[in-house]
Chains A and B, each alone.
Chain A
Amino acid sequence: MNVRFSKQEEDFRAEVRVFLEPWRDLDGFFGQGLKWKRVRELFCAMGERGWLSLSWPEALGGLGRGPAYEYILWDEVGYARAARNPLSAGIVARSLIRYGSDAQKARWLPPIRSGELHFSLCYSEPEAGSDLASARVRADREGDEYIVNGQKCWQSYAQDMDYLWLLARTGTQESRGRGLSLFICDKNAAGVTVSPLPTLDDDQLNEVHFDGVRVPVSDRVGPENGAWSIMGEALADERHIQFPPGRVRRDLDEMVEWVKGVGLAGDPVVRRTLADLAVQVREVEIYGLLVLDRMQKGRSAAAEVAANKVIHTVVCQNIARAIVDLGGPEALVIGSRPQLLWRQSMWETIGGGTTEIMRSIVAKQALGLGARR
């Protein structure tokens, strides 16, 4: 066992920290939609250094480095609160690398790598949230095209994105996960309507309607009805950077700063709370590293990944709740930091698969407790 990063990896961390200096005031991790222009500039600056394609094969314009570099990069970006890792260089690129045709790779990977092209994740639907295999947006083949009809909802940032990463049904409804395919769809294609769903944090999610949208067959990624395993593999490729512990470390550091600022640092009850949270943050970090280890060895680790999501998001909430509880009514005012932290953490246990679904995965994969069938 060795829980240290190598000298080269630590040097890379130092380099990332220096790079991030001008971006430390961006705060694009929260409310990205309100700061998209600068967040996109950050991604382009990262793209220039090849950091959006750190682990891609060199033949595809990547740097061919190991997952540890990506982990360090997003851990530092998360700590700096600069941005969340973009979907385009994440799930989209990894799916294309594994399953895209040569033409697709040539067309999409360069602008993704440079940070210029961005995607919205169009998976969830009004009737298909946790039960994604029941998705019903249809893509029916007509010659060289698919005709897409139906509705997606809860798309984050879709208002700013260029393309849609679309999950749609090409098989029967009964075929569930085996009847779904993935497509790249131009957000500006005729028949696509993106409309805002105002959210409680004064930001928005979106609904995306498809009304007879024509998607060329050449924009289907992977085989027809092959979406399920592609999605699973892309998520697995991303598992070490989806929940950077840096974000949680930063939450706690901000809480400590805030506690000092309001003169509560000597209060024994507050100190006890901080100690408790500090332990939880260590749990988040050790789980993050465990997932990285599994990733580096190419081991499947569904249970650890699910557990990591639960721990990470729940600890974010515990910190936010603690700070709001100490903050009093002032923590209710828009613009106050406790208020922001709280509102940004409350939904983390839902998006990207709920805590309940993650726990079911742990029960099944780690404990062998299968569902009654």
Chain B
Amino acid sequence: MDFDLNDDQRAILEAVEALLEQHAGAARAIELQPKGEYDASLDAALADAGFSDVGRDPDMGGLEATLVVEAVARAGGVVAIGAEAMVAPMLRDEPLPTPIALATAGHGGAVRYAASARSLLVLGDREARWVALEPGDCAPVRSNFGYPMGRVSAEGTTRGDGLGVGSAARLHTAWQLAIAAEAVGCMEAALAQTVGYLKERRQFGRAIGSFQAVQHRLAECAIHVEGSRWLVREAAYQRAPTEGVATAAAFALSAAGRIFSEMHQLSGAIGFTREHDLHVWSMRLQALRLELGGVAAHRRAIVAARWGGVGS
């Protein structure tokens, strides 16, 4: 038993963080937001350095990819790294054209990154499909939740190539874990940002962070973030077992709701303004919470994995 990262994993993490330091960060995310733009240069930089593909490396795999996704989320990167590093490798040996967006069959609707995506992975009942997108296939939609969003037509989700038996389950699990990993990164950054602010912000002659009522709430949040991180990493380490992934997702996305509310409440009015960076991560938590059926669906997936379908 050893929860520490090994040397290779540490090296990957340090390297990706150095790259993100240069190419990503809250300021960059805020710059791209009004235009709803995808960070193609960051995507290219991550791909060139091999980070998007660590999940395909036979010597590495899911855990390393998870570390990358967590780090990109902490840096507020506007790239579909979860789909690229954690999902696509589970479905096809050859890389897909990027960016990659993830959608559910038969559901037209708002999808993260769809407006700039060149690949769409579609979760069907039996099979997953890969759709090569043409420009204009997905119209951008206006949203304010930290991700550029696009609308996939219901018809668009029925095209493309089937990815074979078992692909739907693999896509579902990988997608769930990718959401959870991204939530972990966003929660870590939102918590760190808020704790830093509350150490500085003084009211009633003291730092707000010195009030015990505030400390206890931040401590509770820290416990939730820590729990999320290790459940996600454990699931990745165990090669994404259905129940373990559903558990990690249910835990992390439930924590995400709490982190959102608490960080905003404890930041006061400034957290409501665009001049304060919190929204870069907090609004994303809200978006991640709703994907793939949300916490309720992750919980149902645990029950289905452990005890089978209802009535069977």
Contact = CB atoms under 8 A, between A and B. Distances in A.
Given A269-B296, A351-B269, A331 B142 contact: no
Contact of A333 (B110, B274, B275, B289): B110
B1 interface: no
A331 B295 CA distance: 15
A18 to B, nearest CB: 37
B177 to A, nearest CB: 18
Interface stretch (B38-46, B119-127, B237-245, B279-287): B279-287
Contacts of B153: none
Contact of B142 (A130, A134, A333, A343): A333
Given A130-B203, A205-B273, A333 B290 contact: no
Given A205-B272, A321-B257, A325-B289, A332 B110 contact: yes
A285 B175 CA distance: 43
A324 B265 CA distance: 18
B268 A330 contact: no
A153 B276 CA distance: 14
Contacts of B214: 356
Interface string A303-337: 00000000000000100010011011111111100
Interface of A: 124, 127-131, 134, 153-154, 197-202, 205, 269, 317, 321, 324-325, 327-335, 343, 346-347, 349-351, 354-356
Contact of A197 (B145, B273, B287): B273
B204 A325 contact: no
Q: Which 10 A-B pairs have the closest CB atoms?
A: A131-B203, A334-B142, A154-B269, A329-B110, A198-B274, A332-B145, A332-B143, A131-B204, A197-B273, A347-B272
B294 A325 contact: yes
A154 B226 CA distance: 34
Contacts of A130: 203-204, 268
A356 B213 contact: yes
Interface residues of B, number: 37
Given A321-B257, A332-B143, A197 B275 contact: yes
Given A205-B272, A321-B257, A325-B289, A333 B143 contact: yes
A9 to B, nearest CB: 37
Nearest to A130: B203
30 contacts: A124-B269, A128-B203, A129-B203, A129-B269, A131-B203, A154-B269, A197-B274, A199-B273, A200-B283, A205-B273, A317-B261, A321-B257, A324-B290, A325-B289, A325-B295, A328-B109, A328-B290, A328-B293, A329-B290, A329-B291, A332-B286, A332-B290, A333-B110, A333-B141, A333-B142, A333-B149, A346-B261, A346-B264, A351-B269, A354-B268
Interface of B: 109-112, 141-145, 149, 202-205, 213-214, 257, 261, 264-265, 268-269, 272-275, 279, 283, 286-287, 289-291, 293-296
Given A130-B203, A131-B204, A332-B149, A198 B273 contact: yes
A350 B272 contact: yes
Contacts of A356: 213-214, 265
Given A200-B144, A334-B144, A127 B202 contact: yes
B27 to A, nearest CB: 16
Nearest to B142: A334
Contact of B279 (A124, A134, A200): A200
Contacts of A200: 144, 272-274, 279, 283
B287 A349 contact: no
Contacts of A343: 144
A354 B273 contact: no
Contacts of A198: 273-275
A270 to B, nearest CB: 10
A197 B145 CA distance: 18
A325 B46 CA distance: 33
Contacts of A131: 203-205
A97 B214 CA distance: 39
Nearest to B151: A333
B144 A330 contact: no
Nearest to A356: B213
A129 to B, nearest CB: 5
A354 B265 contact: yes
Contacts of A317: 261
Given A131-B203, A202-B144, A332-B287, 10 more contacts: A129-B269, A130-B268, A131-B205, A198-B273, A269-B296, A317-B261, A332-B110, A332-B144, A334-B141, A350-B265
